[in-house]
Amino acid sequence: MKKISFELIKKIDFVLIFIFSILGIVTWVIIMISIFDPFRSRRSVSNEVAIVEDETKEEIREYIEFNEKIKDVFIFNIKSSKIKADGLYDDIPKVSLKSGPSFSAKSGNEGITNLIFIKDKNYEEYKLFESNIFIYRYRFAESSNRNNISCDKNIYAVVNEDTNNDKTLNTKDNVALYVSGYDGKNLIQISNSVYKVIIIDKNQLLFTEYDGTLLTFFLYDIDLNKKTKLRSIEQECPEKEIYL
């Protein structure tokens, strides 16, 4: 029986130690990469409107800022830091006056949950909606859109709730369509779920509704408060486009 020399044992021990050292270094490198990977924190920018959870340490702020004056009515936004709405209102003209310096730098990305109207004669004050919701888009009376068309009434696209429970408020939820007088009175709901809305002429809206199978086109005459069905077509669910 051959005897294993002491020198051979030393060489085998050295090789095993070297192999385990290499494995240890590789494992350490993999762990460090997983912790400090610079690409891990990169996320795609989203225009969606996120709901901030109540469990967060950030204190939820609700405050008021001045929007604009139409005829004899001052209009104020009620905003909440619970709703982040980055860039949503960028194409809606409004004044730069804010209700307080502490919010002037932060209020642009926070969602409008209601509107307050105040008459400049008797200072009568009232809210557009009885309870705060989320005003996704809006256009006030006599304010021209991108096609230089205006209407004599205010138009609002409103997300009443997170209908698909994804913790985000956007056009994947039901978007209701409302109109009111320039002073916020005589609020009327035209549709509880619209897919596309276009101002096609002065005081005329063209919008669509979808029931899962049929896409239906409607014409709404603001002057007559008349909703007319134009036609229906069977097709797949279209993407929502809410531009006022």
Share of the chain above pLDDT 70, in %: 65
Contact 229, 216 (CB under 8 A): yes
Give the pLDDT confidence of 152-187 residue by residue, as tens digits.
Answer: 999 999 988 877 787 777 677 889 999 999 999 999
Can you read off the two tokens belonging to residue 180?
A: 């009111």
- How many C-beta atoms surround the C-beta of residue 151 within 10 A? 24
Residue 240 gets which letter from DSSP? P
Is residue 125 within a helix (H) or strand (E), and if so which, with residue range? strand 125-127
Q: Residue holding tokens 């797949």?
A: 236
Exposed / middle / buried, residue 232 (Cβ in 10 Å: 0-12, 13-18, 19+)? middle
At 9 the pLDDT is 54
Contact 65, 103 (CB under 8 A): yes
Domain ranges of the chain: 49-242
pLDDT over 50 (residue 108): yes
Q: How far is CA 36 from the centre of its chain?
A: 31
Q: Mean pLDDT, to the nearest integer, of 125-132?
A: 93
At 70 the pLDDT is 94
Give the pLDDT confidence of 12-54 residue by residue, as tens digits.
Answer: 566 556 666 676 666 665 555 444 443 333 333 234 455 545 4
